[in-house]
Structures are given as C-alpha cells and as structure tokens.
Amino acid sequence: MSFQAYIDNIKTKTGLSPHDFKKMAEQKGFLKNGNLTPKTKAGDIIAWLKKDFDLGHGHAMAIYAVFKNIKATVQKDGPTTYLDKSAKKKK
C-alpha cells in the first residue's frame, strides 16, 4: 500500500485529514508549532491514534510520519505534497 493510500484510507475511516490530526496533536501537547515536542515518543502517538480512532499500527505510523515530516508536508487548505530527499535537504 502506498503512503497516499494509507492517508486516503484514514480520511475515509475517520473523516479527518492529516491537518486535522496535526491540530488535535497540538491540543494534546504532542506537537508545538507544528513540530513534535522533545518528550513525545512514537509510541505515545500510536497509542492515541489506536485508542481514539481505532487505527491500525500502519495507519497510525503514517500519521506519525506526517508529524515527523518524513513522507509529506500537509498544507492547511491544500493537498498532501510529497517531498523528495533533495527538497528535504534544502530546508
């Protein structure tokens, strides 16, 4: 399954976009100014997403990847934009 398929399936299941999850993660204290806080661990995010949204491990990891800006950046009112390695290095 592609990364985009994971994101699409999450949106279908929950009705929420990656941006929505980022907003909720900020409210829960997992993110600050769009970045993971130093004390936040992957397991914290995964447990939250499994418990509150009934996501499987792979789908929860896809949201975690968005939080870490590993696979993509999520624009507030736009589509998910994939980053290639060269684009990530320019930041």
The alpha carbon dihedral of 17, 26, 46, 88 has a sign of positive
Q: Provide the pLDDT for residue 41.
A: 94
Identify the domain containing residue 21 by its residue range: 3-90
How far is residue 32's CA from residue 57's CA, in Å, rounded to a whole number? 24
The pLDDT-based confidence of 76 (bands split at 50, 70, 90) is: low
The pair of structure tokens assigned to 53 is 């949204």
- Number of domains, the chain: 1
pLDDT tens, position by position, 13-71: 999 998 999 999 999 999 999 899 999 999 999 999 999 999 999 999 999 999 987 75
